[in-house]
Amino acid sequence: MEETQKDIQSLLLRQQWEASFYQIVEQFSERLYQCAFSILGNHDDANDAVQEAFISIWKNLHKFEGKSAIFSWCYAIVRNQSLSELRKRGNRYMQDIEAQIDLKDGTALRWTAEEIEDQLAHALSLLPDKQRMVFELRYYQDMPYDAMAELTQTSVGALKASYHHAKEKIGHQLTQALNLP
C-alpha cells in the first residue's frame, strides 16, 4: 500500500497528472467506492458520488500539497461528496421520514436529519487529521485495525486510542451542540 502511494506521489512531484490520476483510479477506486457506499447505502448514489469526486480530484490534482497521504486526500474528497449527496437526499426524503416517525409524547422532532448531519460534520472537522481519518475508516468503512495499521504505518494500539478519543470528542461536541442531556 505504502509503495503505491509513493509511486503516485512521485508522479505528482514530476507533474505527470494523467499518469498519477490513472494510478489513483486504478489503485483506490474500490476503497473509495466503499467509503461512498458506507455513507450513502445505495449503489447508484455511491457510484455517482465517486464519479463526481474523481472529477474533483482530476481538477484539483495540481493543488495536492503532499501534507497527507494521497489516499487520505482522495478519501476526504469522496467523503465530502458523499455527505453532500446525503444532504441532497435528506432534503428530498426528510418529510417522508418525519411522517413515519410516531413520537409517543406527541412532541415534534427537535432537529432535522440535516441539522444532526451538519453537527456531526462539524464535530468531525474539529478532530485532528489522524483522529478524523481513523474514525472515518473505522466507523464509515468498518476497516479492521490491522488494515488501518498497514495503511497509516501506525500501531494497532495507537489506532484504537485515536478512535476512542475521536468518539469521545464527537460525543461531547454533539451533546453540547444539540443540547442533549
Tell me: the pLDDT tens digits for 148-165? 887 777 899 999 999 999
- Residues 7, 75: one domain? yes
Q: Looking at residue 54, what is its pLDDT?
A: 94
If pLDDT is split at 50, 70 and 90, which confidence band does 4 have? low
Angle between helices 17-40 and 2-13 (to 10 degrees): 130
CATH value at residue 133: 1.10.10.10
Mean pLDDT of 25-48: 85
| pTM flag (> 0.75) | no
pLDDT tens per residue, range 76-112: 899 888 888 777 765 444 444 444 444 444 444 466 6
- Residues 155, 98: one domain? no
- Residues 30, 96: one domain? yes
CATH value at residue 12: 1.10.1740.10
**Within 10 Å of residue 41's Cβ, how many Cβ atoms?**
11
Domain encompassing residue 154: 110-181
